[in-house]
A and B are shown apart, each in its own frame.
Chain A
């Protein structure tokens, strides 16, 4: 008897497995929660050339190149990463593909770890490309195969849309074996792949004709299915919302859509005929609801919110309201307890930097990474932050509006983020004769997403040695003459550097360098207090180190948490804090 192997996989692990089983040979991504683990898991398979790219645009372009060369390829990114990759994506929609190409977008309803809650299903409608939405890990794996087949059959990139609850939830998956595929032959076809205006115009009718084929495909796609039940209500749903419906109301009729764009309108209309009324259960925007209405099907008002995540509880209450049934009494409210916001780790090299910037009362244009946490109390050290790389362009714009800003503000950006999309901003500063200052907080990793390598770490996705971009040389190459490197924990040197560079009448870059504290094992070093010298001035706890608790007018150091970074030692004006080196046993 054939023994089927079932493994408990996260959605991201399952997508990686799907890529492997279905013959993908090239995969690229830039890390971003909740998408990061897709490439980390693909990298475990030596058959796949898997890589971190400096940003999502390049990652998608690598996947496009691989597809044109005839390979099955995959690019993965978080929802806002697709914005970065939108330029190639919208024209890729015209050219179509050679080898199957799937773009994974991991959206973040509830904004667990993002700057917005955009609903990337709209990219399907925008680019006129199919959107598939898995509802568990088994489907996450299987839909990679469906997407690749669809891609090759319909000559289009396919968007596989996940969400945090799919990507970061584990469920059982039946594993299959890898089916290798030879490269499809590459044939030069300028009218298809050279998107000069004449060719692009000629592709448009083909894109519309392809859309019609996509609809035909969606109407009979096995990933859409009807689950008949109580005929009083038919629910149209997809993704994790399908699970919430099944959990809350296993009794109702369901049309579960695996393809959410284009809408299989005939299937929807046929389903609607079998039930008394129809409702659409979906998270975020009324994307399906609008399409269902356009298909001429009347739908009940669910009253569901357009923001945040749904749950079985919320979905169950919505269905009960539609059916005129009593809604369960709300549960006992949570206890009022102090909030526990995420904080910079003890020993984090960013802490000293923001302490200095605060002391100098500078405005700080921030960027995306762990250092964004410095925006929270007690540091409150950020004036604005927007998207990857924005700190630099925004600093330039501020200065153009008010030249005094060049001395009163700094742009702050991490090493990984700088390489992602800070380079062009810095070039703009040089080109347009900025007098501003950029701090590159170089902790030698992509820390926030869990320590991924990037072009300046000297390591590939697989951990192999590679060329290492030199940030100083990169900045000099862009035309910055004033580049200096300071130890991020040396607050005195940092203060001098920031004071000097903000006064310069030209662009300057300060690289505040110190590896992320989580990259080295704690060696047992910590600090201790000489209580006789302590005046209780609280200078040491001003930057908000979580290892310092205030007790009876003096700091108490949590030896287990303290990393011995020495920031508080250098901040103490009375030499009351001493660093204790690890004892050698």
Chain B
């Protein structure tokens, strides 16, 4: 599992984890690598917890990532980051949006949303927290927070920015491209 770059993208149904995964996978294809991409939808798309897995390497076998083997955990929501934090390898990086979406169990009052998610995450790996929702709103579309986070991941991966921009053009429909390019740039240049 260590031969490949393993990226786990987690969030809440409807947040755009699959799109982010597709762009990342496209970058892998453009850079001549082998890649596998796995996602679960169906029941999960109705506001449930969603996971997209991307594995990039010279020859990738398993489409899924084992626990404690993800190099990067890209979390579109804090609690989802914590839910999947055990998938991170020791010393791995968690890029997490500070957005908080209460699950139905919390809305109903049968569970409590933990107040120390970022602190708990810090015990599991290197945490990069950013207000991706705010940054997406700033470029004109709250739905582009997935691409903000992707921009931050992209800077951390050390691949050429041109490849990423090509991948965005290949994957994202033309009418949404401009705002997503701005979102990507905002993520890339964030702290």
Residues of A within 8 Å of B, CB-based: how many?
51
Q: Beyond A112-B42, A171-B35, A340-B104, is A335–B80 a contact (Cβ under 8 Å)?
A: no
The chain B residue sitting closest to A110, CB to CB, is: B40
| Other A-B pairs, 10, CB within 8 Å; known A165-B38, A340-B103 | A169-B36, A172-B34, A244-B61, A337-B82, A338-B79, A343-B48, A370-B46, A377-B104, A377-B105, A548-B107
Assess the B67–A312 pair: CB atoms within 8 A. Answer: no
* A302 sits at the interface (CB 8 A): no
Query: Which residue, A164, A337, A450, has most C-beta atoms of chain B within 10 A?
Result: A337
Segment of A279-287, A326-334, A466-474, A495-503 engaged in the interface with chain B: A326-334
Q: Beyond A165-B64, A345-B47, is A338–B105 a contact (Cβ under 8 Å)?
A: yes
Binary per-residue interface labels of chain A (238-264) against chain B in the complex, 1 for a CB within 8 Å, 0 otherwise: 001001101100000000000000000
Distance in angstroms between the alpha carbons of A344 and B42 in the assembled complex? 13
Assess the B62–A343 pair: CB atoms within 8 A. Answer: no
The chain B residue sitting closest to A309, CB to CB, is: B64
* B63 sits at the interface (CB 8 A): yes
Assess the B44–A8 pair: CB atoms within 8 A. Answer: no
Chain B residues with CB under 8 Å of A341's CB are 48, 103-105
CB-contacts of B87-111 with A (<8 A): 102-111
Q: Beyond A33-B41, A311-B66, A331-B68, is A339–B111 a contact (Cβ under 8 Å)?
A: yes
Q: Closest CB of chain A to B150's CB: distance in Å?
A: 17
Chain A residues with CB under 8 Å of B45's CB are 342, 450
Distance in angstroms between the alpha carbons of A225 and B100 in the assembled complex? 50
Assess the B106–A338 pair: CB atoms within 8 A. Answer: yes
The chain A residue sitting closest to B34, CB to CB, is: A172
Distance in angstroms between the alpha carbons of A33 and B39 in the assembled complex? 12
Chain A residues with CB under 8 Å of B60's CB are 171
Chain B residues with CB under 8 Å of A112's CB are 40, 42-44
Chain B residues with CB under 8 Å of A171's CB are 34-37, 60, 63
Assess the B26–A8 pair: CB atoms within 8 A. Answer: yes
Q: List 22 A-B contacts (CB under 8 A).
A: A8-B35, A112-B44, A113-B43, A168-B40, A170-B35, A331-B67, A332-B86, A334-B86, A335-B85, A338-B113, A340-B79, A342-B43, A342-B46, A343-B48, A373-B46, A377-B110, A378-B104, A448-B42, A448-B43, A449-B42, A544-B104, A546-B107
The chain B residue sitting closest to A113, CB to CB, is: B42
The chain A residue sitting closest to B37, CB to CB, is: A170
Q: Beyond A337-B79, A339-B103, is A243–B62 a contact (Cβ under 8 Å)?
A: yes
Q: Closest CB of chain A to B34's CB: distance in Å?
A: 6
Residues of B within 8 Å of A, CB-based: how many?
53
Chain A residues with CB under 8 Å of B68's CB are 331-332
The chain A residue sitting closest to B85, CB to CB, is: A335
Distance in angstroms between the alpha carbons of A6 and B33 in the assembled complex? 11
CB-contacts of B1-46 with A (<8 A): 1, 12-13, 25-26, 29, 34-46
Chain A residues with CB under 8 Å of B104's CB are 340-341, 343, 376-378, 544, 546
* A431 sits at the interface (CB 8 A): no
* B142 sits at the interface (CB 8 A): yes
Distance in angstroms between the alpha carbons of A525 and B35 in the assembled complex? 42
Q: Closest CB of chain B to A436's CB: distance in Å?
A: 29
Q: Beyond A33-B42, A342-B44, is A541–B107 a contact (Cβ under 8 Å)?
A: yes
Assess the B86–A243 pair: CB atoms within 8 A. Answer: no
Q: Closest CB of chain B to A15's CB: distance in Å?
A: 16
Distance in angstroms between the alpha carbons of A334 and B49 in the assembled complex? 14
Chain A residues with CB under 8 Å of B39's CB are 168-169
* A34 sits at the interface (CB 8 A): yes
Q: Beyond A168-B40, A340-B103, is A247–B48 a contact (Cβ under 8 Å)?
A: no
Chain A residues with CB under 8 Å of B66's CB are 311-313
* A549 sits at the interface (CB 8 A): yes
Q: Closest CB of chain A to B99's CB: distance in Å?
A: 11
Chain B residues with CB under 8 Å of A33's CB are 41-43
Distance in angstroms between the alpha carbons of A365 and B103 in the assembled complex? 27
CB-contacts of A375-415 with B (<8 A): 376-378
* B112 sits at the interface (CB 8 A): yes
Among the listed B29, B61, B84, B85, which residue makes an inter-chain contact with A172, where contact means beta carbons less than 8 Å apart? B29
Distance in angstroms between the alpha carbons of A344 and B107 in the assembled complex? 14
Distance in angstroms between the alpha carbons of A240 and B36 in the assembled complex? 12
* B120 sits at the interface (CB 8 A): yes
Chain A residues with CB under 8 Å of B111's CB are 338-339
Distance in angstroms between the alpha carbons of A202 and B144 in the assembled complex? 64
CB-contacts of A154-204 with B (<8 A): 164-165, 168-172
Chain A residues with CB under 8 Å of B79's CB are 337-338, 340
Distance in angstroms between the alpha carbons of A343 and B13 in the assembled complex? 10
CB-contacts of B66-84 with A (<8 A): 66-68, 79-80, 82-84
The chain A residue sitting closest to B117, CB to CB, is: A337
CB-contacts of A304-324 with B (<8 A): 311-313
CB-contacts of A108-144 with B (<8 A): 112-113, 136
The 9 closest A-B pairs by CB, nearest first: A113-B42, A338-B111, A342-B48, A169-B63, A340-B103, A342-B46, A33-B42, A331-B68, A247-B62
The chain A residue sitting closest to B62, CB to CB, is: A247
CB-contacts of A515-562 with B (<8 A): 541, 544, 546, 548-550, 560
Chain A residues with CB under 8 Å of B112's CB are 338
* B158 sits at the interface (CB 8 A): no
Query: Which residue, B25, B82, B104, B107, has most C-beta atoms of chain A within 10 A?
Result: B104
Among the listed A332, A338, A541, which residue makes an inter-chain contact with B103, where contact means beta carbons less than 8 Å apart? A338
The chain A residue sitting closest to B133, CB to CB, is: A560
Distance in angstroms between the alpha carbons of A335 and B124 in the assembled complex? 10
Assess the B42–A333 pair: CB atoms within 8 A. Answer: no
* B114 sits at the interface (CB 8 A): yes
The chain B residue sitting closest to A560, CB to CB, is: B142
Distance in angstroms between the alpha carbons of A339 and B111 in the assembled complex? 8
Assess the B64–A311 pair: CB atoms within 8 A. Answer: yes
